[in-house]
Every structure is written in C-alpha cells, then in structure tokens.
A and B are shown apart, each in its own frame.
Chain A
Amino acid sequence: MNTWTPPVNVNLVDLGFMDSRSKLIDLAAFLDRVQRVGQEGDFRVAALKQAIQLLAGDQPERARNILLSFSDPSMEPIPKATTQGAVGAVPPALG
C-alpha cells in the first residue's frame, strides 16, 4: 500500500470562505424566520442555539463538539423503535 503523503499547502480560505459565509447567513436568517413566527421554542431550535456557542471554541474540534451536542448521551438500548427516522437533535423526552 502507498505511504501517506500529506497535501501540499493551498489557500483553504480561498476555497471555503464564500461557502461558509453563505451558510452562516443562512443560519442567521433561519433563526430570524422562526423567531418572527414564534417557533423558537422548538427543541431543535434550542439545540441549534446551544451548538452555536461551540463555534467560539479555540480548538480545532468544533465540528466534533457540535455533533456531540446534538447526540443522545444515553447508553441503554430503548425498549422498542416506534419511529424509523431521526430528527437531528435529542427530543425532550429522551434528553
């Protein structure tokens, strides 16, 4: 198997800034939108607001920490699956 050669330096800011800027403004507009219609009490919006705090961290672990903040922290299997999908944040009954 080939040995690993790290990538050469490229300007990752050039590659990613516009996309990240756009996603951040989208996020801000989403929070404005749900607030205007009185839906900011939804547990998913609350989870999002909590996760946003983690952007201010100073270690390059922000993506991991945000994923952890959206994760079900329990360890035991649930008695029965009553739905098939996931919603992206821990529902209040589980948290």
Chain B
Amino acid sequence: MVSRTTDDYEKLALAGCETICEPAFWAGFDRASAQGFYDYFRQITEYEPKRAARFGIKHYTWLCINPKESEDLELADDVLALIPQFLGKPNVLGIGEIGLNKNSRNELQVLEKHIQIAADYDQLILVHTPHLEDKLKGTRLILDALKNHSKITPDRVIIDHVEEHTINLVLDQGFWAGITLYPESKCTPHRAIDMLEAHSGERIWMNSACDWGISDPMAVPKTMLEMKRRGWSPTAIQRVAYDNPVTFMKQSGKFHLD
C-alpha cells in the first residue's frame, strides 16, 4: 500500500488480515514521465510484497495507468508499453484499476487499450468507476466498452466502487461488483451491508479505500463487526469478506493462500 505507512500493515495483521491486493492508481499528483511509472511498477511488484511479508501478509497487485492520468495519450501509450514486461511477476493478478474518471474521450480510448492488453495476455480486470455525479455515466460507458470486446468474459472482471444506483447494472450483466468503504463522503459500512443483503452476497467483494485522501485500511474488519451486530452468521461474514475475493482472484492462476 504505497500511500500508507508501515503501521497500517501491522494494524491489518493484528485484525487477522492474511492477504491484500493493491491496484495501480494515482500517486496523489500527476507523474511527469513513463519512467515514473516504471519505478512505481517496480515498487508494487518488488518492494511492497516484502513490506507486507514482514507482517505475514501476502501482497498482490494490479497494473495500469489510472484514468486520472489518461488524458495525455502520449504518456498513456508509453506506460501501456511498459505493462507486459511486468505481467509475469508472481504477485500481479491482472490489469487495474482501469476505468474512467471524468468520462472523457481520451480516458475511454486508454480504457479500451487496457482492455485489449487484458484480452491479449488473458488477464483479470479490476475497474475503477468514477465518483459522485460522474459514476452512473462512467459505469454505463465502461460496461459498454467491456461488452463490446468479444474476448472479455464478465466473470473475470470486477467493477469497483459500486453504489446503490450502479450495483444492479453491474451484477445483472454478469460482472463481479466491488463495494469500497470510505470513512467520509462515499459508501459507509451500513450502506455496504444493505447492498450485500439485497443481493445475498452474490459476486460481490468489499474493500477499504486506502488512498491519499482520508481513508481507513481497517474499514473491512470494522464492517465485519457491524455485520455481526446486524445479525449476520459467521459463515455469511466469511463468505463476503473472504470466500468471495478468494474465488475471484483465484481465476488469475497466481493467487494462493499459502
């Protein structure tokens, strides 16, 4: 978790976390060159697994240029060209988090190029959907781009940051859905649990926002505690917090628990 301190790995280990997966994302500022991404890809494929291992946590990751930095097509092409050489790393699960941010033409073009790489190299896909007023439109555009590619099968794609107005679009078309927990401004534990209950926990994972904003890596264990207070059985909690992500990530062929 490049945006977090080592203390957060320790907290997660103490809460019983065995494995994390970290998407490639924004650095909190726009990188000036593809070389910056090369170093970043080394960091998340070589260094972060070691940092996590010190606390007994297995670390997996995803690779891409994120949509916030996709407006510059020349930079995006240079970064896309770097990705294949890292796909063979043992902790890389696939392409992500790709998607859209402001739903622009260039972002969409870069998204389609990422989808092509995933198809060419038979990779899982992790998708970021835009925030707030841009989410609904972005989710629709992303789902169309994925469905338009003949080689992409929905059960190998997870669409992240769904909310009440987008979750049905995602699940009804056979994709996996991710619910991201935020301490402020977006989805809360209670809303996440409402959505999980409405869909019987089917093809959904939940994750903690762990980025440059105010976020809480402990959001998943805190939500598990809230589930208990709301009458969930231990097996139902186990299913959404553990079995579901394991089922999705095992499709990569690289993910293992021991």
Interface residues on A, range: 35 or more
B71 near A8 (CB under 8 angstroms)? no
B235 near A86 (CB under 8 angstroms)? no
Give the interface centre of B164, B202, B238 by most chain A CB atoms within 10 Å: B164
**Does A24 lie at the interface of the complex (its beta carbon under 8 Å from any beta carbon of B)?**
no
CA distance A75 to B125 in the complex (A): 23
Distance in angstroms from B2 CB to nearest chain A CB is: 19
B229 near A15 (CB under 8 angstroms)? yes
CB neighbours (8 Å) of A6 from chain B are 197, 200, 236
A78 near B133 (CB under 8 angstroms)? no
**Does A72 lie at the interface of the complex (its beta carbon under 8 Å from any beta carbon of B)?**
yes
CA distance A70 to B232 in the complex (A): 32
Assuming the contacts A67-B164, A71-B137, A71-B165, asked whether A77 and B108 have C-beta atoms less than 8 A apart, the reply is: yes
Return the chain A residue nearest B135 by Cβ: A71
User: Which one of B13-21, B54-62, B84-92, B98-106 is at the interface?
Assistant: B98-106
Which of these, B71, B105, B231, contacts A7 with CB under 8 Å?
B231
CA distance A8 to B71 in the complex (A): 49
B239 near A81 (CB under 8 angstroms)? no
Distance in angstroms from B16 CB to nearest chain A CB is: 18
Q: Which 6 A-B pairs have the closest CB atoms?
A: A7-B231, A81-B102, A86-B132, A71-B136, A67-B165, A8-B231
A-B contact pairs, 10 of them (CB 8 A): A1-B243, A1-B247, A7-B232, A10-B231, A72-B103, A73-B137, A84-B101, A84-B102, A87-B133, A89-B132
